[in-house]
Structure 1
Amino acid sequence: MLFYLIAGVVAAADQITKWIIRKYVDVGETFPLWGMEITHYENSGMAHSLFQGYGRLFALAAVLFIIGVVYYRKTGEIKGVWADLGFGFLVGGAAGNGIDRILFGQVTDFLTSRSGKGILNLADHAIEIGVICLLASAVVQLIRKRSTRTDS
């Protein structure tokens, strides 16, 4: 249940924030908000604007990723709270960006990184959180395996 809750909340929050940006902020417009810089950017590629124009292809990749995760969850190969959290954030992020790519052929970005090296969105940050959770899951599993070996 945690997996579906996280994935749904992430995808919904991502789509709501992107809708607000598309509706009220012109492309290229920049302004400060709560200590962050908001810049409306439309990206038809992937990270760092690589492979521009392949938005629909990346949508297919997102759909296949989501199907794969749901399948492996059903087989029981994905287990644990950290794994559920991680895959929930990853699937929510993939769904959020996938929806944009299917509907518009591009992704709406608006959160300017503090380093000034990119403009992201909530889905992108959710994917980052998902990776961190999966790393935590791997560490927990490694510790459990070592603990089990030591006890034997």
Structure 2
Amino acid sequence: ALKLLKEGVRDVPVYYSNGTHVYVGAPITLAEKLSIEHKFFPLLSGGNIFHVWLGEAYPDPEALLKLSWKIAKDTQVGYFAYTKDLTICEECATVSGGLLDACPNCYSPNVRYWSRVTGYYQEVSGWNEAKKRELRERYRVGVLSL
């Protein structure tokens, strides 16, 4: 990264974790991630979020509700968010869960992606290379894995 910066390249594919997050690609269960990250929330006055990167295209609403109650009642997490990646077809406007190479409806490869970065959803094409790398490295979980 330093070599690229010295060469004048501004958009280097290196990122630093913000907040008190476990590495986004750590292959650990949601319960393990919660047990690590929730301890930091009482120490901070704000600006911290617990991310749940969803692995299912269509997570079970009852499981999400149960998980939400568990996080709210049994941890010190003050703010959390579920993120479901989306694929939007440019040809037929189908919106699908997950990051897909082609539209499952019309099979067009002309798709764009949306996901959460720094707290809000936006189109991935506008992200810098480091955030795109983070998106690829995210370890996604099923809501029933807690």
Q: TM-score, with normalisation over the residues of structure 1?
A: 0.27
Q: TM-score, with normalisation over the residues of structure 2?
A: 0.28
